[in-house]
Chain A
Amino acid sequence: MGIPFLRHREYIIVPLQAAISDDEMVELWGLLANHVTGHDVRGVVIDVTALDVIDSFACRTLTHVAQAIRLRGAETVIVGIQPDVAIAMVQLGLSVTDVRTMLDTEEAIAFLDQATARAAR
Chain B
Amino acid sequence: MEEANHTYRPAGPSTDDLVSHLMRVRDELRVQWVQEMRAKGLLEGLTPEETERESAVIYDTCVGCLESGRYDEAQRYATQMAQRGVLSGMTPEQIMGSLLTLRDIYEWSLFDEYGAEREKLRHALRLYQSVANRILSIVALAFVEERERIVFQQQEAIRELSTPALQIRDGLLMLPIIGLLDSARARQLTEQLLLTIRASRAKAVVIDITGVPAIDSKVANHLLQTVDACSLMGARVVLSGMSPEIAQTIVTIGVDLSRIRTVADLQDGIEEANRWLGAEVSNRRPLPQSD
Contact = CB atoms under 8 A, between A and B. Distances in A.
Interface in B156-203: 187, 190-191, 194-195, 197-198, 201, 203
A50 interface: no
Interface residues of B, number: 22
A101 B234 contact: yes
A114 B234 contact: no
B234 A79 contact: yes
A81 interface: yes
A103 B190 contact: no
Interface stretch (B3-11, B223-231, B238-246, B248-256): B223-231
Interface of A is mostly: helix
A103 to B, nearest CB: 4
B229 A103 contact: no
A91 B107 CA distance: 60
A16 interface: no
12 contacts: A83-B233, A87-B187, A89-B232, A90-B226, A90-B228, A95-B232, A103-B198, A103-B233, A103-B234, A107-B234, A110-B284, A114-B283
Interface of A: 79, 81-84, 86-87, 89-91, 95-96, 101-104, 107, 110, 113-114
User: Top 9 nearest A-B pairs by Cβ distance?
Assistant: A83-B194, A102-B234, A103-B234, A86-B229, A90-B225, A86-B232, A90-B228, A81-B232, A90-B229
